[in-house]
Chain A
């Protein structure tokens, strides 16, 4: 480790040149690339992804990922074209797909914190669980998590014009789910909870001022934030729900009819302006 006056650069120290890595850790066959990520640093994995995309592949498989961060982030393309599918085997690190701009990421394993952070467009499918602040400040695209998520999932997610972010959580979430929610659709299915076992999250939708949360399974009134109102689902809601639940079930081979036969509730913000009255003008 490079230690000078106690300074250590965890990210950039001993990064190997991309040319060397390309020949050692990546094989490209037609439009498919396979990257062997064992012992690669965060930046090295992303260097290789970028090389792969620049060489024109449309499918990337990354094997033996173990904690490498920001996968998919460096693939911004100013022309807006050439979207790729990245399959990650094992465990990607934090901020998977942060600022993601239209690519598709499939994780065969658990994801860590910050999945789809400030994501603009694209799709992330996690065959496992996700950590804290999943879908934070997400603006577009879809995230499907098969199992549970950590704290503050979907915090400050927002929608804009044709962009409507969707987060589907198969299991349950920890506290502050949907905090500051400003737009988009959050669906939490509660699969894996026992009958009448409440969801784990407290303070659901605290400060919520837009968007909608569909909940399957039981929540006690005290688990909801002050700014949240509980409503029944109307036809339009069922339509939205069906679309996304079907997609969820397709990804993870589950039975949509069984899931949709249960009771759902819909959480809406009571006001678009929760903090409009606290100032003296």
Chain B
């Protein structure tokens, strides 16, 4: 069938700069470029271009310019170009429109409507370069009260403590499974987490056996509906065990790693035969209620001899506060909330763009609810989904998060340009692909360094902002909404966020 679709991008090549080195041709997995030796000329197939900018960056003479194609339909506020393109694509294929990465629709981003406080005159600000500034974060359940008694050589803590994981910065890498991302990308996250002393999250695709001893001490291991690669050894080689109920980018639906991506290494990690589809059912079939969730939480505690905190990750949805309360009552030590701008390797576009609620509102609602019920100390809250910079992270902490999951930002640090074609398996940056030729583009050592740099820079920025507020420990900012003010928000939004308007 002849396609009625408009090409998405246009490519301009400065003829006087092009030296016909054919780098662009080699770099493009989408086969946009081809070279005709007889004519000594490069040809361009624009309709294949996904706008990932790989060729532009690698062109030695900067001869290329790739930008969204300007030709467009008659302007129409209702029938936008996106809508019409998708419609035509579905008319041609009869399929579900897939997409990758996070929700890109112009919903209000509350981070951009919240501002932080700083000390002026009445209390001194602190300079983190010369004074102690504590970012250390403990993830896990805290006791209701601590009972101590005096003994001969100091004090004895009588209260039994729960397993907690200490990390030097509240920033943690999000769940991205080996399979959704390439081995070098996965390894880089693990290695960066190890170097920083923080955590990475294996996602639901398991942890390769040869990585367990080395990186288990920095791993959050997931137990999801597919139970891929989950055995007692995997659960015990970790810091935290996470039950994945939902994902912000696609709340309520399962996952599907197509058989062609299940190559030898992935089959080994997921513990399934080569070439079979890895289907993650939408629900976990042993969890149909809060009571069942409780059953799995304690099953995981049993399997790990009560030595590790158990986290439950849910997508931010309408009744998230009540659900989170149930999760804490079910025995979870950590509740992870994934907002609707969280990324994904593949999701139906209809779901990604229309299901779920923003992290900011969900986080504030959960924190408030747990405080009201007097059970906030029983869990740590992890915030995930659309954290773009250190300021977003620190605002999340002021809204009640204990730690922050960094996913898309980490991928961008690796080279990702958010072309949203993760599901095609043809990532030119070597991140969301299993093609042996493409994954070589990612050098794990250099990529690890990029991730470490990013986290260090963010941590330093967080210290600077804390110092500005006159706070010397991130603990003091946690859930401290007095340090936030809203700008351009309606009353109901300020109410849900629990912050005052600027100037109030």
Write the B87-117 contact mask toward A (1 if CB under 8 angstroms, else 0).
0011011111110000000000000000000
Q: Give Cα A215 to B227, complex, Å.
A: 26
Within 8 A of A (CB), among B233-289: 233, 235-236, 256, 258-259, 267, 271-273, 275-277, 279, 281, 285-286
A152 partner, pick from B285, B295, B296, beta carbons under 8 A: B285
Q: How far is the CB of B429 from chain A (nearest CB, A)?
A: 19
Write the A82-105 contact mask toward B (1 if CB under 8 angstroms, else 0).
000000000000110011010000
Interface status of A182 (Cβ within 8 A of chain B):
yes
Interface status of B230 (Cβ within 8 A of chain A):
yes
Inter-subunit contact B258/A273 (CB<8 Å): yes
Interface status of A276 (Cβ within 8 A of chain B):
yes
**Residues of chain A within 8 A of B276, CB atoms compared:** 182-183, 209-210, 272-273
Interface status of B407 (Cβ within 8 A of chain A):
no
Q: Give Cα A118 to B295, complex, Å.
A: 14
Q: Give Cα A64 to B232, complex, Å.
A: 27
Inter-subunit contact B98/A281 (CB<8 Å): yes
Inter-subunit contact B298/A5 (CB<8 Å): no
Q: Which residue of B has the minimal Cβ distance to A76?
A: B232
Interface status of B305 (Cβ within 8 A of chain A):
yes
Q: Give Cα A10 to B293, complex, Å.
A: 13
Interface status of B329 (Cβ within 8 A of chain A):
yes
Q: Give Cα A279 to B232, complex, Å.
A: 35
Interface status of B498 (Cβ within 8 A of chain A):
no
Interface status of A190 (Cβ within 8 A of chain B):
no
Q: Give Cα A99 to B200, complex, Å.
A: 23
Inter-subunit contact A69/B273 (CB<8 Å): no
Interface status of A170 (Cβ within 8 A of chain B):
no
Inter-subunit contact B236/A76 (CB<8 Å): yes
Stretch with Cβ within 8 A of B (4 or more), from A153-161, A196-204, A239-247: A153-161
Q: How far is the CB of A141 from chain B (nearest CB, A)?
A: 11
Inter-subunit contact A101/B96 (CB<8 Å): no
**Residues of chain B within 8 A of A183, CB atoms compared:** 272-273, 276
Interface status of B482 (Cβ within 8 A of chain A):
no
Write the A151-173 contact mask toward B (1 if CB under 8 angstroms, else 0).
01001101110010000000000
Interface residues on A, range: 35 or more
**Residues of chain B within 8 A of A46, CB atoms compared:** 302
B424 partner, pick from A11, A117, A281, beta carbons under 8 A: A281
Interface status of A78 (Cβ within 8 A of chain B):
yes
Interface status of B446 (Cβ within 8 A of chain A):
no
Q: Give Cα A69 to B303, complex, Å.
A: 12
Q: How far is the CB of A218 from chain B (nearest CB, A)?
A: 27
Inter-subunit contact B374/A5 (CB<8 Å): yes
Inter-subunit contact A180/B298 (CB<8 Å): no
Within 8 A of A (CB), among B318-368: 329, 331
Q: Give Cα A159 to B274, complex, Å.
A: 11
Stretch with Cβ within 8 A of B (4 or more), from A132-140, A229-237, A256-264: A132-140
Contact (A5, B94) CB under 8 Å given A74-B305, A99-B303: no
Inter-subunit contact A209/B231 (CB<8 Å): no
B331 partner, pick from A9, A73, A95, beta carbons under 8 A: A9
Inter-subunit contact B303/A158 (CB<8 Å): no
Q: How many residues of B contact A (CB 8 A)?
A: 48
Interface status of B45 (Cβ within 8 A of chain A):
no
Q: Give Cα A25 to B285, complex, Å.
A: 35
Q: Give Cα A41 to B285, complex, Å.
A: 25
Interface status of B373 (Cβ within 8 A of chain A):
yes
Inter-subunit contact A99/B273 (CB<8 Å): no
**Residues of chain A within 8 A of B279, CB atoms compared:** 156, 180, 182, 207, 209, 275
Inter-subunit contact B272/A118 (CB<8 Å): no
Interface status of B375 (Cβ within 8 A of chain A):
yes
Q: Give Cα A29 to B256, complex, Å.
A: 51
Inter-subunit contact A156/B285 (CB<8 Å): yes
Interface status of B226 (Cβ within 8 A of chain A):
yes
A280 partner, pick from B97, B231, B258, beta carbons under 8 A: B97
Inter-subunit contact B302/A74 (CB<8 Å): yes
Q: Which residue of A has the minimal Cβ distance to B236?
A: A76
Q: Give Cα A277 to B96, complex, Å.
A: 9
**Residues of chain A within 8 A of B275, CB atoms compared:** 272
Inter-subunit contact B302/A73 (CB<8 Å): yes
Q: Which residue of A has the minimal Cβ distance to B267?
A: A160
Interface status of B308 (Cβ within 8 A of chain A):
no
Q: Give Cα A272 to B278, complex, Å.
A: 10
**Residues of chain A within 8 A of B303, CB atoms compared:** 73-74, 76, 98-99
**Residues of chain A within 8 A of B96, CB atoms compared:** 278-280
Inter-subunit contact B298/A7 (CB<8 Å): no
Tell which of A274, A277, A278 has the most Cβ of chain B within 10 Å.
A278
Q: How far is the CB of A177 from chain B (nearest CB, A)?
A: 12
Q: Which residue of B has the minimal Cβ distance to A137?
A: B227
Contact (A78, B233) CB under 8 Å given A11-B298, A180-B281: yes
Q: Which residue of B has the minimal Cβ distance to A8?
A: B329
A182 partner, pick from B232, B256, B272, B294, beta carbons under 8 A: B272
Contact (A73, B285) CB under 8 Å given A99-B231, A101-B231, A209-B277: no
B299 partner, pick from A8, A69, A163, beta carbons under 8 A: A69
Interface status of B144 (Cβ within 8 A of chain A):
yes
**Residues of chain B within 8 A of A120, CB atoms compared:** 231-232
Q: Give Cα A4 to B374, complex, Å.
A: 8
Interface status of B395 (Cβ within 8 A of chain A):
no
Q: How far is the CB of A142 from chain B (nearest CB, A)?
A: 16
Inter-subunit contact A280/B374 (CB<8 Å): no
Q: Give Cα A209 to B257, complex, Å.
A: 13
Inter-subunit contact A280/B93 (CB<8 Å): yes
Q: Which residue of B has the minimal Cβ distance to A71?
A: B302
A7 partner, pick from B90, B226, B375, beta carbons under 8 A: B375
Interface status of A175 (Cβ within 8 A of chain B):
no
Q: Which residue of A has the minimal Cβ distance to B424?
A: A281
Inter-subunit contact A133/B230 (CB<8 Å): no
Q: Give Cα A127 to B421, complex, Å.
A: 52
Q: How far is the CB of A65 from chain B (nearest CB, A)?
A: 15
Interface status of B378 (Cβ within 8 A of chain A):
yes
Q: How far is the CB of B345 from chain A (nearest CB, A)?
A: 13
Tell which of A78, A95, A155, A274 has the most Cβ of chain B within 10 Å.
A95
**Residues of chain A within 8 A of B258, CB atoms compared:** 273, 276
**Residues of chain B within 8 A of A278, CB atoms compared:** 95-96
* Chain A residues within 8 Å of B, Cβ to Cβ: 4-11, 42-43, 46, 50, 69-70, 73-74, 76, 78, 94-95, 98-99, 101, 113-114, 117-118, 120, 133, 136-137, 139, 152, 155-156, 158-160, 163, 179-180, 182-183, 207, 209-210, 272-281
Q: Which 9 A-B pairs have the closest CB atoms?
A: A280-B95, A5-B374, A76-B232, A137-B227, A280-B93, A160-B271, A120-B231, A70-B302, A73-B302
List 10 interface pairs A-B (beta carbons < 8 Å), by A numbering.
Answer: A70-B298, A99-B231, A120-B231, A152-B285, A155-B281, A160-B271, A183-B273, A272-B259, A279-B98, A281-B424
Task: Taking A99-B231, A155-B281, A276-B259 as given, write out 5 further A-B residue pairs in contact, using a Cβ cutoff of 8 Å, ordered by the A residue number.
Answer: A94-B295, A139-B271, A275-B277, A280-B94, A280-B96
